[in-house]
Amino acid sequence: MIRVGIAGIGFMGMIHYLAYQKVQGAKVVAMCEKDPVRLSGDWRSIKGNFGPRGEVMDLTGIAKYSELADLAADPNVDLIDVCLPPSLHAPATIDALNHGKHVFCEKPITLKVADAEKMVDTATSAGKLLMIGHVLPFFPEYQFAYKTIVEGRYGRMLGGHFKRIISDPLWLPDFYDPEKVGGPMIDLHVHDAHFIRLLCGMPKLVHSVGRMRGEVVEQFSTQFVFDDPTLVVTAASGVIYQQGREFTHGFEIYLEKATLLYDFSVLGGQGVLSMPLTVLTADGQVERPTLGSGDPVDAFVAELQEVVAAVSQNRPSALLDGKLARDALILCHRQTESVRQRRAVQV
């Protein structure tokens, strides 16, 4: 049984706690939160853009800490699950690793590449696992795409386009602060940067065209340039000023013998599946694969099950490894640099 301590009881901390209830081989034994109301189990103030609203939880039997150092020092904890703001990811993770804990940290790995390198290096020197919560490959449509490409079911990948756009999050005062959240590039597009890195490896160049808001990119489009000249990959992300479409994401992925299509939006508060996962095959057929549950929380259950399996077997995760997350952050910073300089930038 892997004993888990959750650091931070916000929306993601709540989602992780609920997901752990469905994960085999893990048990939440400790929690850390500075808000005494939330630490007591009153989560009614917690809400997010998916999943259930917070309610009063029975946390009987769970150790409760207000300081991260006390959680890191708890000998009854094997794995610390970091659900803190991005600016706190690096110090919390490094301290936990130095206390001999495995760490699973929410995305992004952190805000600065130098801090990400320190996190990865600390995990290596401590002999512990560092995993980062890039949950996208655990959503059914992206999981299908990943498995299809890795297995070579329709030949090799020739390219693709990925998009992830939100309405301007006016309710998040720090969204465009590079020292706290990082704006659309690091908070939003990092999902697709990670997925592209997972599927294609690291590009040698990025060429991004976009618009800045202060020190962060507000909206952009990127061409990823690989050593293989036949691999054509692009992505678009950022914010729009209209609130009617809160969120949209999707992809077109081009394989030798098939094309994979997917497009989902939230319009006026309602989910709209304008293009269910669709496979266009070489013989002209249009196929709609059967997928699992559409409940977003189930993707987190699958993600945490992978975390627990990695810790139980003491092996790196092919999907959640800290080095992949570091590379995704590097890609985000290189794209920002490309937008600023208005030219292609080496990765």
Q: Are residues 127 and 158 in the same domain?
A: no
Q: Are residues 76 and 147 in the same domain?
A: no
pLDDT score for 186: 97
- pLDDT, tens only, 236-270: 999 999 999 999 999 999 999 999 999 999 999 89
Q: Are residues 113 and 159 in the same domain?
A: no
Please indicate, yes or no, if residue 59 is contained in any of the structural domains.
Answer: yes
pLDDT score for 168: 96
The CATH number of residue 9's host domain is 3.40.50.720
26 pLDDT higher than 70: yes
303 pLDDT higher than 90: yes
Report whether 219 contacts 232 (CB < 8 A): no
- pLDDT, tens only, 135-190: 999 999 999 999 999 999 999 999 999 999 999 999 888 999 999 999 999 999 99
Q: Number of structural domains, the chain? A: 2
Report whether 314 contacts 102 (CB < 8 A): no
pLDDT score for 49: 67
Q: Are residues 119 and 209 in the same domain?
A: no
Tell which phi-psi region holds residue 314, choosing left (phi > 0), alpha (psi between -120 and 50) or beta.
Answer: left
pLDDT band at 132; cut points 50, 70, 90: very high
Please indicate, yes or no, if residue 323 is contained in any of the structural domains.
Answer: no
Site of tokens 């959640």: 320
The CATH number of residue 211's host domain is 3.30.360.10
Q: Are residues 176 and 211 in the same domain?
A: yes
Q: Are residues 182 and 208 in the same domain?
A: yes
Please indicate, yes or no, if residue 210 is contained in any of the structural domains.
Answer: yes
Q: Are residues 255 and 305 in the same domain?
A: no
- pLDDT, tens only, 86-113: 999 999 999 999 999 999 999 999 999 9
Q: How many CB atoms lie within 10 A of CB 155?
A: 12
Q: Are residues 220 and 340 in the same domain?
A: yes
Instruction: Please give the single-letter amino acid code of residue 107.
Output: K
Q: Are residues 112 and 198 in the same domain?
A: no
Please indicate, yes or no, if residue 20 is contained in any of the structural domains.
Answer: yes
Please indicate, yes or no, if residue 117 is contained in any of the structural domains.
Answer: yes
Please indicate, yes or no, if residue 21 is contained in any of the structural domains.
Answer: yes
Please indicate, yes or no, if residue 141 is contained in any of the structural domains.
Answer: yes
pLDDT band at 47; cut points 50, 70, 90: confident
Measured CA to CA, the distance from residue 103 to residue 96 in angstroms comes to: 7
* Percentage of the chain modeled with pLDDT above 90: 92
Measured CA to CA, the distance from residue 151 to residue 141 in angstroms comes to: 16
DSSP string, 63-132: EEESSHHHHHT-TT-SEEEE-S-GGGHHHHHHHHHHTT-EEEEESSS-SSHHHHHHHHHHHHHHT--EEE
Residue of 257, 300, 339 whose CA lies nearest to 107: 300
Q: Which residue segment(s) compose the domain that 110 sits in?
A: 2-134+301-318
pTM: 0.96
Measured CA to CA, the distance from residue 292 to residue 283 in angstroms comes to: 26
Q: Are residues 106 and 145 in the same domain?
A: no
Please indicate, yes or no, if residue 39 is contained in any of the structural domains.
Answer: yes
Q: Are residues 205 and 341 in the same domain?
A: yes
Q: Are residues 130 and 148 in the same domain?
A: no
